[in-house]
Amino acid sequence: MNILILGGDGYLGWPTAMHFASLGHNVCVIDNYMRRNIAQSTSSEPLFFVPNLNDRAEIFKSVTGKHISVIIGDCTDYRLLTNTIKDFSPDTVVHYAEQPSAPYSMTNYESAHLTLNNNLNTTFNLIWAVMENAPDCHIVKLGTMGEYGTPNIDIEEGWLDIEHKGRSDKFLYPRQAGSLYHTSKVLDTDLIWFYVRTHNLKVTDLKQGPVYGLSTKEADMDEKLMPFFNYDDIFGTVVNRFLVQAVADIPLTVYGKGGQTRGFLNLKDTLQCVELAVNSPPPSGDLRILNQFTEQFSVNELAEKVKSAAKTVGLSVRINSIENPRKEQEDHYYNASHSGLLDLGLKPHYLDEDTICEMLEKVILYKSSIDKKKIFPRVKWAT
């Protein structure tokens, strides 16, 4: 299968590229290094150095013999994207080419403008490039569980049957997100659903929860193949941040009351989920939405899990509630359905003690690189 990965340099993009190349697919990645540039300009560099995409593809080839094609370019450039799709003829495009940081999107006008315009236009261009050049191509789009927000009713997988005054209809599940980044994904979904129903596109939208983890089967082969591992407030997801704080002997920074509940998953399961989606495309004209996480817990529960596991590797961890930089509910109902990917065959890796310890041990190797200035939140939601 020809698999084109937009945003192939990212935390998920690069492991996905290696995963499909290892499985024997033809893989091409595009990336404009936006995430690298933002990380540098906000002093949010990852825990360890990550070679550029061309270098990583070379290392991967030397280790596995498998080739990954690399294009450094911007998917908001329609000519580039169209030409790539014409030349590469993808069977599947995996779309990660979005500015992924919620705090960054809340920093100022410029960061919000960049997030909105980049994310909408990469999605818009992909839709058109596929419509005009590869209408049978399956688009696998990374959405986010954050689109749903924290409603007071059960979260279903993308759709909701609504009964109202004795009549009924089925709609996209109501979405109300907590940051401009997450809101840009709400808009993505509206846009994609419009073109799916008017132009018979074939799309899977993976509404993913926060991901954790440092490595994957392929990255284990060479340290230089590991994805970005961010522990800062801009790009670091909460589990990864807690792992570094535990190692650096900084109390785990719980934002506010810590009752915030989300659905989490291991980076290895992201790869499984994307593979399951790619292998079973929906019919044309169908927007298939799958909630991509394996278990849900609150930030407090998460902090306790890390604390307890850390003890077994000799780390004494404290937990500190700090002022919440975000505007969000800190104590709320949360019950999200996620059976679609399990039905497709997902075998979850749970966040158990062994998994946490394994990650902590990897982080310990880089302990001397931890920059404590990156730990505390620098972006506040309210103006």
Query: Rounded to an integer, what distance in angstroms lies between the CA atom of residue 336 and that of residue 155?
Result: 4
The full length of the chain comes to 383
Task: Note whether 37 binds a second copy by CB under 8 A.
Answer: no
Provide CB contacts within 8 A for 21, sequence distance 6+.
27, 60, 64, 66, 67, 68
Q: Is 132 near a second copy (CB under 8 A)?
A: yes
Q: Distances from the Cα of 355 to the Cαs of 5, 121, 305, 346, 359, in angstroms?
A: 28, 38, 11, 18, 6
Helices vs. strands in the chain: H and E counts, helices first: 12, 14
Residue 368 touching a second copy (CB under 8 A): no
CA distance 369 to 329: 34
User: Out of 148, 181, 255, 334, which one is annotated catalytic?
Assistant: 181
Q: Which is nearer to a second copy, 65 or 382 (CB)?
A: 382
CA–CA separation, 189 vs 28, rounded Å?
24
| Residue in 61, 86, 113, 318 binding a second copy, rule: CB under 8 A | 113
Residues 67-86 that bind a second copy (CB under 8 A): 78
Window of 16-24, 30-38, 180-188, 238-246 that interacts with a second copy by CB under 8 A: 180-188
Q: Which is nearer to a second copy, 72 or 116 (CB)?
A: 116
Q: Do β-strands 138-144 and 202-208 pair in parallel, antiparallel, or remain unpaired?
A: parallel
In angstroms, rounded to a whole number, what is the distance separating the alpha carbons of residues 319 and 95? 36
End-to-end CA distance of the chain: 48
Which residue, 19 or 207, has its beta carbon nearer to a second copy?
207
Please report how close the Cβ of residue 383 comes to a second copy at its closest, in angstroms.
Answer: 6
Catalytic residue among 66, 141, 185, 202: 185
Tell me the window of 50-58, 114-122, 264-272, 291-299 that interacts with a second copy (CB under 8 A). 114-122
Rounded-to-integer distance, Cα 351 and Cα 305, Å: 8
Catalytic residue status for 181: yes
Distance of alpha carbon 312 from alpha carbon 112, whole angstroms: 42
Q: Would you say 226 and 277 are in contact if contact means Cβ atoms under 8 Å apart?
A: no
Q: If binding is defined by CB under 8 A, does position 316 make contact with a second copy?
A: no
Of 81 and 243, which has the nearer Cβ to a second copy?
Answer: 81
Q: Are 80 and 74 in contact (CB under 8 A)?
A: yes
Backbone φ, ψ for residue 286 (5° rounding): -115, 130
270 noted as active-site residue: no
Stretch that binds a second copy, among 2-10, 65-73, 110-118, 286-294 (CB under 8 A): 110-118
- Binding a second copy (rule: CB under 8 A), the pick from 4, 94, 180, 290 is 180
If binding means CB under 8 A, how many residues of this protein chain bind a second copy?
Answer: 45
**Token duo for residue 329:** 């509910």
376 binds a second copy (CB under 8 A): no
150 is catalytic: no
327 lies in the binding site for a second copy (CB under 8 A):
yes
From 164-172, 203-211, 227-235, 298-306, span contacting a second copy (CB under 8 A): 164-172
State the catalytic residue, choosing from 76, 84, 144, 216.
144
| 164 touching a second copy, by CB under 8 A | yes
Stretch that binds a second copy, among 10-18, 84-92, 158-166, 221-229 (CB under 8 A): 158-166
Helix (H, G, I), strand (E, B) or coil at 93: strand
Q: Which of 121, 133, 284, 329 binds a second copy (CB under 8 A)?
A: 121
Residue 97 and residue 71 in contact, taking contact as beta carbons nearer than 8 Å: no
- As measured in angstroms, the least distance from the Cβ of 159 to a second copy is 10
Can you tell me the distance from the alpha carbon of 52 to that of 149, in angstroms, rounded to the nearest whole number? Answer: 35
Q: How far apart are CA 57 and CA 60, in angstroms?
A: 5
Q: Which residues are marked as active site?
A: 144, 181, 185
State the residues that interact with a second copy by CB under 8 A: 78, 109, 112-113, 116-117, 120-121, 124, 128, 131-132, 151-154, 160, 162-165, 167-169, 171-172, 174-177, 180, 183, 186-187, 190-191, 193-194, 198-199, 327, 333, 381-383
